[in-house]
Amino acid sequence: MKNIIQMVVVLTVLSGSSAGILAGIRVVTMEKIEYQQLKFQKEPAVRKIMEGSGMDPMAGRFKIDYQGRKLTIFPGEIDGEPMAAFETFGKGYSGDVGVMVGLSLSSGRIIGMGVTTHSETPGIGSKVKDSPTFVDQFKGEPVESGFKVRNDGGGVDAISGATITSRAVCVAVDEAGKVYGELKEQLLPTKIAAKDGSHE
Amino acid sequence: MSKSIAREFAKGLWSEIPPFRLVLGLCPVLAVTMSVENGIGMGLATTFVLVGSNFLVSLLRNVIPPKIRIACFIIIIATFVTMVEFIMQAYVYPLYLKLGIFIPLIVVNCVVLGRAEAFACKNPILPSLADGLGMGLGFTLSLSLIGAFREVLGNGTFLGLQVFGDAFVPFGVMVKAPGAFVTLGLLLAFMNLVPVKK
């Protein structure tokens, strides 16, 4: 009996202090990690989506509230048509898969997207980021159309061997659709909205 | 006393150097040694975890009940690995991206658990620290060596700098998985040629 109590106490104290220490380190490093992800993950994805944009999406980025958390919006514009890119997440095989979705704000269609952060299996799930053919399927589709992989009765071809990862991307895009549906007005960068109010 | 600490440190560098003599922790040895930079990064991350876990395991060796020692070791190791993950993300993000999934996998690296079980839980703090540091640096050395072989032959570069002239055609296979096995096999064979004095 004494043994069991000792074991429980030791394990509890150990796990508790471990959680405490890690939470502390997370708080200290969070801001730096966010900056690094912005620089090395989000910026390349946004730049690719917004190629030819008349305004700098990085310089013009702003935050809006969405379901209690801050969502960073990267605005852009091609030929006077306003666009916005932002990152949403879906549950992948191991952890969240982040997807940067770029939309045309006048038509609600996807103009480009790219996977940002993920921790999927190298060589299998990681193809979702490395091979452009998968994400290219979404290009030009209305963002609110509700995406599903073929296994689930939808129209998206999953990456073979990585159905869960492919599903995560669909979930993330649907999330982006929800953001678009609910917060359309807020996605419009104030500068463009002021210059040309006819879009909404 | 100081002599034995020096010996605990030195054994990790030669007579018990982890991948070559103990043949432990081969997953990162094979998987991330495409380049010297990867090898050094992975090695140093593992060293940090080894030193930290050896220290804590040795400190708590009289508190941890023997029946649940493995669970306790894993908690300690996992804490240090998560720490490394946060720190790498905050300060060396590009390297973190390259090593990716293999950083969290340090938790299940046999070298780390092996040293906790075989050494740190039976020895005082100072020798345990020396053991962890020696083993970690030995591991780093081995990974960098394999990385150097593979990077020079497979890519014609060393730490990203061009080694050969334009006439050199890299052996692409060396930076792929078979190259890792070939390099490790050759180095193991070479290490076996050199006897260890007991």
Is position A30 within any domain? no
**Structural domain total, chain B:** 1
Is position A19 within any domain? no
Is position A154 within any domain? yes
Is position A5 within any domain? no
Is position B10 within any domain? yes
Q: What is the mean pLDDT of residues B112-137?
A: 93
- What pLDDT does B161 receive? 82
The A residues from 87 to 146 touching B (CB cutoff 8 Å) are 94, 119, 121-122
Query: Cα-flanking dihedrals φ and ψ of residue A28, to 5°?
Result: -65, -40
* Model confidence at B21: pLDDT above 90: no
Joined tokens for residue B120: 């740190």
Burial class (CB in 10 A: 0-12, 13-18, 19+), B139: buried
Burial class (CB in 10 A: 0-12, 13-18, 19+), B92: middle
**Between β-strands A81-91 and A62-66, what pairing exists: parallel, antiparallel or unpaired?**
unpaired
Is position B96 within any domain? yes
Is position A26 within any domain? no
Token pair 């801050």 in the structure block, residue: A70
Closest-CA distance, A67 to chain B, in angstroms, reads: 26
Joined tokens for residue B190: 């070479």
Is position A40 within any domain? no
Is position B67 within any domain? yes
CA atoms of B6 and A188, how far apart (whole Å): 65
Let me know how long chain B is: 198
Range of the domain at A128: 45-199
- Between A21, A40, A122, which is nearest B79 by CB? A21
Q: What is the mean pLDDT of residues B29-55?
A: 93
Task: Quickly count helices (H) and strands (E) in chain B.
Answer: 8, 2
- Four-CA torsion A140, A193, A115, A159, nearest 10 degrees: -20
pLDDT of B161-186, one tens digit each? Answer: 888 777 778 887 888 888 999 999 99
* Model confidence at A191: pLDDT above 80: no
Distances (CA, A) of A99 to A37, A42, A173: 13, 9, 7
CA atoms of A172 and A101, how far apart (whole Å): 9
Is position B198 within any domain? no
pLDDT of A50-80, one tens digit each? Answer: 887 777 888 888 888 888 888 888 888 877 7
Q: Is A80 left (phi over 0), alpha (psi -120 to 50) or beta?
A: left
Report yes or no: B82 at the A interface, CB cutoff 8 Å: yes
Report yes or no: B79 at the A interface, CB cutoff 8 Å: yes
DSSP letters spanning A69-109: EEEEEEEEEETTEEEEEEEEEEE-SSSEEEEEEEEETTT-B
Report yes or no: A29 at the B interface, CB cutoff 8 Å: yes
- Which residue in chain A has the smallest CA separation from B63? A10
CA atoms of B86 and A25, how far apart (whole Å): 7
* Mean pLDDT estimate for chain B: 89
Is position B130 within any domain? yes
Helix (H, G, I), strand (E, B) or coil at B5: helix
Q: Is A7 left (phi over 0), alpha (psi -120 to 50) or beta?
A: alpha
Is position B93 within any domain? yes
- Between A18, A40, A121, which is nearest B75 by CB? A18
Is position B175 within any domain? yes
Q: What is the mean pLDDT of residues A162-183?
A: 91
Q: What is the mean pLDDT of residues A167-194?
A: 81
Q: Which of A22, A26, A128 to mutate to test the interface with B (most CBs of B within 10 A)?
A: A22
Range of the domain at B158: 2-193
Is position B26 within any domain? yes
**Structural domain total, chain A:** 1
Q: What is the mean pLDDT of residues A88-117?
A: 90
Q: Which of B64, B93, B108 to mutate to test the interface with A (most CBs of A within 10 A)?
A: B93
B79 to A36: CB separation less than 8 angstroms, yes or no: no
Is position A6 within any domain? no
Is position A78 within any domain? yes
